[in-house]
Amino acid sequence: MANSNPAYKNLPGGYLFPELAKRTRAFSEKHPGVKIMRLGIGNTTEPLPSSIIKGLGVGVKKLASVETYTGYGDEQGNTELRKKIAEVKYKKAVEKIEADEIFVSDGAKSDTANIQELFSKESIIAIQDPAYPVYVDSNVMAGRTGKIRENGQYEGIVYMPCTEKNGFFPEIPQEKVDIIYICSPNNPTGAVATKEQLKKFVDYAIKNKIVIIFDSAYERFIYDSSLPRSIYEIPGAKRCAIEINSFSKEAGFTGVRLGWTVVPKTLMTEDGANLNSLWNRRQCTKFNGASNIAQEGGIAALDKKGLKETQKVIDLYMKNASVIKKGLESIGIKCYGGVNAPYIWMKCPNQMSSWDFFSKLLEEANVVCTPGSGFGPSGEGFVRLSAFGHPKDIKKAIESIKKNLKI
């Protein structure tokens, strides 16, 4: 008889975004003909730049003839792409990132969810609260936590609150932890860690043999050159940190699917295991490499022309961020983020709860946002607005909020 994995019973009813879609659908069914404007999910909308289309085309064309056809590639990724990522993305790294420390994947979501399986079940994880839900849920599924408490926190997880008071970057945890997840620029708060803030965590991790899992999926949205785009800009990080990144947001690959994870060869667990070897072993067993077409697209995205063209699209999204932020501030709403990050973290007016404000915004302005409480208990009282969208649609949504929202 097959029984289900008991750890799955600890999960809440549904993943945040399907729940949001369900409630939006219910509203639509009740109000047919009302056009809903979406500022909720961080899904890209703009077409891929010509150089990337060309790169993807190279991948397609190669499949069309016996001479150039490729089937399975290396599980770790296309060598040219790995070299290019090392060269283009880690120019500012204190210690050089080598191509064989880079593992190409089908996106950051899978890697952020899978990476936890390299660590013992007893490992105590610490997460920023609020955070991208995958960090918590993947550890719940792995049986690393107990049940969810009434306050929305799981037994066995150390929550690092990110609040208005600490500028949405956490203090070092007080209790013993083994793995720390940090996301910068942060989804959902839009906060970006400074070098000093990251250094505190790196020093603490080295001293206490902790591994940091650093999610830099929004790194290209950092315009301020004094802010770090990679944790490897911090001395010592190669001894304590894994970094996960994605082509989704910076190059519009949300549907194409491509990302990578850096696992330094110098990174060891407390019991002496080499994490680069473990991840390599895991990937070779459970992953058969990213799409060869997508990888050709990735190579094109990191070429000079590709970088220039993707920058234009990033600029467009960041203009959206500014339109959202300025629009909301003009009606007296308090907003964070939206600078060096494509998310605006909006404080719900009149101390409303996140889901109450979600319903109010949908009913009064027909705009969808993402309730902050879906990202963790400290997200209560906030909603996340996303700058990913066509500028025209973003403007319409903000005009509707300004005109129709009663606060």
Q: Which is nearer to ligand PLP, 232 or 366 (CB)?
A: 232
Which of 187, 283, 320, 386 binds ligand PLP (CB under 6 A)? It is 187
* Closest approach of ligand PLP to the CB of residue 106, in Å: 8
From residue 115 to residue 134, the character string flagging contacts with ligand PLP as x (rule: CB under 6 A) and all else as - is -----------------x--
Q: Which is nearer to ligand PLP, 187 or 295 (CB)?
A: 187
Q: What are the angstrom distances between the C-alpha of 202 and each of 25, 91, 172, 225? A: 44, 19, 10, 20
Residues in Cβ contact with 381 at an 8 Å cutoff, skipping those fewer than 6 apart: 347, 348, 351, 352, 353, 354, 372, 373
Q: Which stretch binds ligand PLP (CB under 6 A): 32-40, 106-114, 280-288, 319-327?
A: 106-114
User: Contact at 8 Å (CB) between 177 and 158?
Assistant: yes
Minimum CB separation of residue 369 from ligand PLP in Å reads: 15
Query: Which CB atom, from 44 or from 366, has the smaller least distance to ligand PLP?
Result: 44
**Segment 132 to 171, residues that bind ligand PLP, using CB under 6 A:** 132
Is 223:318 a contact under the CB 8 Å cutoff? yes
Nearer to ligand PLP, 10 or 261 (CB): 261
Nearer to ligand PLP, 142 or 405 (CB): 142
Residue 254 binding ligand PLP, by CB under 6 A: yes
Q: Is 68 exposed, middle or buried (0-12, 13-18, 19+ CB in 10 A)?
A: exposed
Site string for ligand PLP, 38-67 (x = CB under 6 A): ----x-------------------------
Partnered with residue 336 across adjacent β-strands are 345
Distance CA 94, CA 173 (A): 26
> Can residue 217 be called a binding residue for ligand PLP (CB under 6 A)?
yes
List the one residue from 129, 178, 215, 219 that touches ligand PLP (CB under 6 A): 215
| DSSP E strand boundaries for 258-339 | 259-262, 335-337
Q: Among the candidate windows 107-115, 158-166, 328-336, 385-393, which touches ligand PLP by CB under 6 A?
A: 107-115
Can you list the alpha helix ranges (DSSP code H) found in 90-157? 108-114, 134-141
What residues pair up with 38 in beta bridges, in sequence order?
368
**Using the rule CB under 6 A, is 310 a contact of ligand PLP?**
no
For ligand PLP, the closer CB: 215 or 380: 215
Task: Tell me whether residue 108 or residue 301 sits nearer to ligand PLP (CB atom).
Answer: 108
Q: Would you say 217 or 240 has its CB closer to ligand PLP?
A: 217
Per-residue x/- marks for ligand PLP, 259-288, CB under 6 A? x-----------------------------
- Residue 16 binds to ligand PLP (criterion: CB under 6 A): no
The single-letter code of the amino acid at 225 is S
Tokens of 375: 């990202």
The residue (of 132 and 279) whose beta carbon lies closer to ligand PLP is: 132
Stretch of residues binding ligand PLP (CB under 6 A), selected from 105-113, 122-130, 303-311, 364-372: 105-113
Sign of CA dihedral 196, 197, 203, 206: negative
Give the H/E segment covering residue 361: helix 354-365
- In angstroms, how far is the first alpha carbon of the chain from the final one? 56
* Kind plus residue range of the DSSP H or E element containing 213: strand 211-215
Phi-psi region of 174 (alpha: psi -120 to 50; beta: other; left: phi over 0): alpha
Binding site for ligand PLP (CB under 6 A): 42, 107-109, 112, 132, 183, 187, 215, 217, 246, 248, 254, 259
